[in-house]
Amino acid sequence: DSGVTQTPKHLITATGQRVTLRCSPRSGDLSVYWYQQSLDQGLQFLIHYYNGEERAKGNILERFSAQQFPDLHSELNLSSLELGDSALYFCASSFISGGAVTDTQYFGPGTRLTVL
């Protein structure tokens, strides 16, 4: 158990809909990262938040957005969903801001999103 929690575990929805994925980092961790993993693919970095502020963006679509709240939990919002958005979505947390290259990330169990 990494200490990172994600809800829900599974999510099934229809095209065009909007969903919110939630992540609670390990106690004391200030950074939250979001990743997308499509079927049999590697992880794609989406976005990184540190202590409530966006720090880095990866290949995140404009239809996707995220935020980190004062209690440090984070939400990833996916809108106008398409079939291709079906994937595993992982969040990870770390203590250091992400500016240090020795930033070890601890991953949650993921949310499996299925868009029908």
Partner 1 sequence: DAKTTQPPSMDCAEGRAANLPCNHSTISGNEYVYWYRQIHSQGPQYIIHGLKNNETNEMASLIITEDRKSSTLILPHATLRDTAVYYCIVVSEMDSNYQLIWGAGTKLIIKP
* β-bridge partners, 49: 32, 54
Name the residue nearer to partner 1 (CB basis): 75 or 103: 103
The amino acid that residue 71 corresponds to is D
In whole angstroms, how close is the CB of 63 to partner 1 at the nearest point? 21
Window 56-95: contact mask with partner 1 (x via CB under 8 A):
xxx-----------------------------x-x-x---
Name the residue nearer to partner 1 (CB basis): 81 or 92: 92
Q: Got the DSSP string for 46-88?
A: EEEEETTEEEEE-S--TTEEEEE-TTS-EEEEE-S--GGG-EE
Q: Please tell me the distance from the alpha carbon of residue 6 to that of residue 15, in angstroms, as a whole number.
A: 22
In whole angstroms, how close is the CB of 29 to partner 1 at the nearest point? 13
- Could you tell me whether strands 87-94 and 106-107 are parallel, antiparallel, or unpaired per DSSP bridges? antiparallel
Q: Which of residues 10-49 bind partner 1 (CB under 8 A)?
A: 33, 42-45, 48
* Contacting positions for partner 1 (CB under 8 A): 2, 4, 33, 42-45, 48, 55-58, 88, 90, 92, 98-110, 112
